[in-house]
Amino acid sequence: MKLLFHALVKFVLGLVLIGLLLFLPAFTFDYFGAWLFLGLLFIPMLIMGTVLFIKAPALLEKRLNNREKEKAQQGVIALSGLLFPVGFVLSALDFRFGWSRVPLWLVALASFLFLIGYAMYAEVMRENAYLSRVVEVQEGQKVISTGLYGIVRHPMYLATLLMFLPLPLILGSFWGLLPFALYPVVTVIRIINEEKVLTEGLNGYAEYKTKVKYRLIPFVW
C-alpha cells in the first residue's frame, strides 16, 4: 500500500505540475497540443505503472527513486529539472502569442515518434529488472546483453531521445525546440558517467562494451 500511495502521489503531482506549466502560460485550457501531450504521456504511464505494480513491484519502486548519489548525475538532474520546465513554458507561450505554427502532419509524426520511444522504453523495462532511475550498481546485478541491449548499450536513453526531442512539436511549437536541443548533451554527459560507474563496479560490463560497441545510436556513437 505504501508503494501504491507513493506511485499515485507522484503520478498526480506530475500531471498537475506539467498541466500548470502548460495551461498557465497559454492562459487557456483550449490548448489542443497540451491535451494531446498529456494524453500521450500519462495514459501509457498509468497503464505501465499498473502492470509494474502487479507484476514487478520491485522495479516500480526503483523507477520511483530519483535520489542520485553521483555528483555528476546530480548536476545532470538539476540541468534537466531546468530544461523541461523552460521548454514547456516556452512552447505554451509560443501557442499563446502565435510565434510559430506547426503543421498537423508534423504534430502527427512527432506523436508517432513519441509513442515509438514509449514502446521502446517499455521493452527496455521488460528486459532489464535492474533499471533504476539513479546511476548505481545494485546487489546481484548482472549485465543485460540481449534484445535492445545487444544493439546499443543504453537503449533507454535512445527511447527518451525519441520521446523528448519531438515533444515541442506535439505542443505545436518550433521555439520550444531550442531548450530541448540541449537534452542530447545532457544524455551524453549522463551516459559517460554511468559507464564509468558500471565499468568500475559491475562484473562483466567491460567485456560487454567490447561486444556492443555503440552506446546510444547504432553506427554513430
Residue 118 lies in a domain: yes
Residue 219 lies in a domain: no
Question: Would you say 152 and 209 are in contact if contact means Cβ atoms under 8 Å apart?
Answer: no
- How many domains, the chain? 1
Residue 217 lies in a domain: no
- pLDDT score for 205: 86
Residue 61 lies in a domain: yes
Closest-CA residue to 64 (of 109, 8, 15): 8
Residue 216 lies in a domain: no
For each successive 10 residues of the chain (221 residues), what is the average pLDDT?
A: 81 94 96 96 89 78 65 72 93 96 96 95 80 58 83 92 95 96 89 86 86 90 88
Residue 206 lies in a domain: yes
* Domain containing residue 38: 2-211
Tens-place pLDDT, residues 11-51: 899 999 999 999 999 999 999 999 999 999 999 989 888 88
Residue 172 lies in a domain: yes
Q: What is the CATH number of the domain that holds 170?
A: 1.20.120.1630
Residue 220 lies in a domain: no
Instruction: Tell me the C-alpha distance between 212 and 110, whole Å.
Output: 29
Closest-CA residue to 104 (of 36, 47, 203): 36
